[in-house]
Amino acid sequence: MSSLHTISRSPQHKLLQACLKVINPGDEILFIEDGVYYCCDKKLLSLISRDNYVYGLREDLIARGLRDKQDALVEVVGYHKFVELTVQHSKTVSWF
Amino acid sequence: MSKKAFTFISRTAPYGSNRPKMSLDAALATAVFEQEVNYLFMDDGVYQLLANQNGEPIQAKTLGNALETLDLYGIDEVCVDYESLQKRNLEACDLAVPVTLLDATQMRALINRSDFVINL
């Protein structure tokens, strides 16, 4: 039973740290809304294990002027893939 | 309706926002439908469990009292992130209800075996 974790608030709310406490190998993380600010923070992204794949939502990155600033660890995806991810995992855990 | 496992995660202090109350209402409603309900308190959420709360001076319902009803409603497990408790210099004996203390591995297992996780 894998989970998709969505994080939708900026790093100052420390949602990533809370999420990492309960994340399992094979779970994936998707940064959306203000959560996309994580995509440019190498140091915070380095807290994430290589067992957890990381995505950032393209529309939210573009809106915030971050489209070309995201770290190489982050795969940029659109809404279509967002929907696919929610289907692929047995549940979605939303951190907000 | 088949029985599903729900885990509610509450991570905010009791009176600063309505999130703890919303979480509790949702959890109690879920328990009424005879689902497996687990409640996990993390971060500032552990403050919700402190004994001797009294919301009266700030015209608020005492959340600690409400949490004492969890058992009556058939909430299967009230769990606390032990690390969050330690960081706030608290121990299980400071809390209003009996809880199960979990470490990171146990929390991961709980989330993994839940069908639904509601984060409020």
Cβ contact (<8 Å) for A93 and B119?
yes
Mean of the per-residue pLDDT values of chain B: 93
Residue among B42, B115, B116 whose CB faces A18 most closely: B42
Cβ contact (<8 Å) for A96 and B119?
yes
B86 CB contacts (<8 Å, ≥6 apart)?
none
pLDDT digits over A26-56, tens only?
Answer: 999 999 999 998 999 999 999 999 999 999 9
Ordered by where they begin, the domains of chain B are 5-119 (3.40.1260.10)
What pLDDT does B99 receive? 96
What pLDDT does A51 receive? 96
What pLDDT does B45 receive? 94
Is B24's Cβ below 8 Å from some Cβ in A? no
pLDDT digits over A62-87, tens only?
Answer: 998 888 889 999 999 999 999 999 99
Amino acid identity of B31? A
Is A86's Cβ below 8 Å from some Cβ in B? no
Residue among A21, A91, A96 whose CB faces B42 most closely: A21
- ipTM of this complex > 0.85? no
Q: B83 contacts in A (CB within 8 Å)?
A: 21
Is A79's Cβ below 8 Å from some Cβ in B? no
Q: What is the pLDDT along chain B (120 residues), one digit of tens a residue?
A: 689 999 999 999 899 899 999 999 999 999 999 999 999 999 999 999 999 898 888 888 898 888 988 988 889 899 999 999 999 899 999 999 999 999 999 999 999 999 999 998
Sheet strand arrangement including B36-41: B100-102, B77-81, B36-41, B5-10, B116-119
Cα-Cα-Cα-Cα torsion B7, A56, B43, B66, nearest 10 degrees, comes to -40
Question: 3-state SS string over B27-50?
Answer: HHHHHHCCCEEEEEECHHHHHHHE
Residue among B108, B115, B116 whose CB faces A22 most closely: B108
- The structural architecture, per CATH, of the domain A3-95 is 3-Layer(aba) Sandwich (3.40)
DSSP label at A31? E
What pLDDT does B107 receive? 97
Domain limits, chain A: 3-95
Q: How far is A68 from chain B (nearest CA, A)?
A: 31
Instruction: Read off the pLDDT band of A6 (50, 70, 90).
Output: very high
